[in-house]
Structures are given as structure tokens and as C-alpha cells.
């Protein structure tokens, strides 16, 4: 990655994180409800297993969406930092009575339980928080590469092999005209915000 690209992505990441953190609690709640409505209309009817996340740092909340899933019998999972590599994510079953802990980034995640791990390819849909995105579907994450490393094996699957639908979610204020991209960026299938759905 070239130095200008590094600088550009870091600068964008800083300004976009500031923008989403600046949203009021009321604006965050309205956005979360609107996102839930968008997702309820978009998710495939056959969805039985969905991976989400618990919002932090101003990310758009999935709590209304996770509740909606539970009401309809859709199983959900949350990411857990891999205990051995520390650089990948595992996905663990999540329900209202799941024991929770905080990881090294102070983000809430399920307490590790090897019996509750859900294989990546067992998911029908995977919702990823974005820091930024553009109309072409290019995305900007937090910079740690956790999702890119975790999802990289999906790129090797042969046609017809089941794989989760990769859905990026964000506030509308996180959209930018153009994003610099890198070869290791895992492409999304769709980006959904409170007001739009960008199919890729």
C-alpha cells in the first residue's frame, strides 16, 4: 500500500468516525430503527442464521435488527476475537441470555464458548459495520483487518458452494464520493443504510 493511500485512508477514517460519534442519541436510535426496517425488507426469506455485531464508537446499532431476528426465529451470532491468532474473528451464537465479556478493545462480545461457535459458511447473512463507503461499494473499516482476514477464505469457494451474503451497514453520513481500495479488501454484496440499499 502506497504512502498516499495510507494517509488518505487514515484521514478519512478519523473524520468519518468523528461524524458518526457526533450523532445524538436520538439520531442514533432513529437510524437503528430505520436500518432494521431496511434490512427486514432486504434479507432473503430463507434466512435462518445471521451474524451481526454490537455497536461501539458511534457505529449504527443492530439491536432492533437482532431483536427482530429473535422474534422470527432467526438465529444470530456475534464476532469474537480469535483466542489463538488474535487477528481473526470467530462467530458465536448470541441470544438474550448469552454471557458477555469485553475484549481488548473494550468492545462487548460473547464469553468464549467453543460449543457455541458457528461456522462462517453456516450463516445466510453477515452484517459488517463500516467506517466509510462509496456508491461503488468500496468500503473502509477500522483498519485492523479482522473482517478481511476472516472472510478471505470465502474468496476461494467454488461456484455453487454456500456462502453468506455479505452486507455492509452504516449511517448515511459515512458515505464519501470515492474511497481508495486495496487488493485485500473483501468485496461486499450490498451496502444498506437507513435510507438506501446499494446492491453491488
**3 in a known ligand binding site:** no
- Is 20 part of any known ligand binding site? no
Was 9 annotated as part of a binding site?
Answer: yes
| 166 annotated binding-site participant | no
13 is in an annotated binding site: yes
Tell me whether residue 143 is annotated as binding: yes
- Determine if residue 50 is labeled as part of a ligand binding site: no
Provide φ and ψ at 5, rounded to 5°. Answer: -65, -40
- Residue 42, marked binder: no
Distance, CA of 194 to CA of 156 (rounded, Å): 32
73 is known to lie in a ligand binding site: no
72 annotated binding-site participant: no
54 is in an annotated binding site: yes
- 11 known member of a binding site: yes
Mapped to the 3 state alphabet, what secondary structure does the chain carry?
Answer: CCHHHHHHHHHHHHHHHHHHHCCCHHHHHHHHHHHHHHHHHHCCCCCCEEECCCCCCCCCCCHHHHHHHHHCCCEEEEEEECCCCCCCEEEEEECCCCCEEECCCCCEEECCCHHHECCHHHCCEEEEECCEECCCCCEECCCCCHHHHHHHHHHHCCCCCCCCEEEEECCHHHECCCCCCCCCCCCCCEEECCCCEEEC
Distance of CA 181 to the CA centre of its chain: 18
Q: State yes or no: 147 annotated in a binding site.
A: yes
Binding residues for ATP: 9-13, 139-147
Annotated binding site for substrate: 54, 59
Binding site feature residues: 9-13, 54, 59, 139-147
Amino acid at each position: 500500500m502506497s504512502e498516499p493511500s495510507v494517509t488518505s485512508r487514515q484521514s478519512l477514517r478519523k473524520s468519518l468516525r468523528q461524524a458518526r460519534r457526533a450523532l445524538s442519541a436520538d439520531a442514533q436510535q432513529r437510524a437503528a430503527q430505520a436500518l432494521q426496517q431496511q434490512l427486514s425488507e432486504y434479507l432473503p426469506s430463507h434466512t435462518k442464521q445471521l451474524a451481526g455485531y454490537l455497536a461501539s464508537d458511534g457505529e449504527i446499532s443492530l439491536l432492533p435488527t437482532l431483536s427482530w431476528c429473535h422474534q422470527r426465529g432467526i438465529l444470530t451470532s456475534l464476532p469474537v476475537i480469535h483466542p489463538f491468532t488474535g487477528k481473526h474473528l470467530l462467530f458465536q451464537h448470541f441470544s438474550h441470555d448469552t454471557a458477555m465479556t469485553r475484549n481488548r478493545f473494550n468492545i462487548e462480545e460473547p464469553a468464549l464458548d467453543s460449543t457455541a461457535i458457528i461456522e462462517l459458511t453456516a450463516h445466510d447473512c453477515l452484517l459488517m459495520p463500516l467506517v466509510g463507503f462509496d456508491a461503488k461499494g468500496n468500503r473502509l473499516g477500522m483498519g485492523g483487518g479482522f473482517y478481511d482476514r476472516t472472510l478471505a477464505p470465502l474468496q476461494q469457494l467454488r461456484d455453487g458452494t454456500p456462502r453468506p451474503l455479505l452486507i455492509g451497514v452504516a449511517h448515511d453520513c459515512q458515505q464519501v464520493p470515492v474511497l481508495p481500495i486495496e487488493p485485500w479488501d473483501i468485496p461486499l454484496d450490498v451496502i444498506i443504510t437507513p435510507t438506501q440499499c446499494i446492491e453491488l
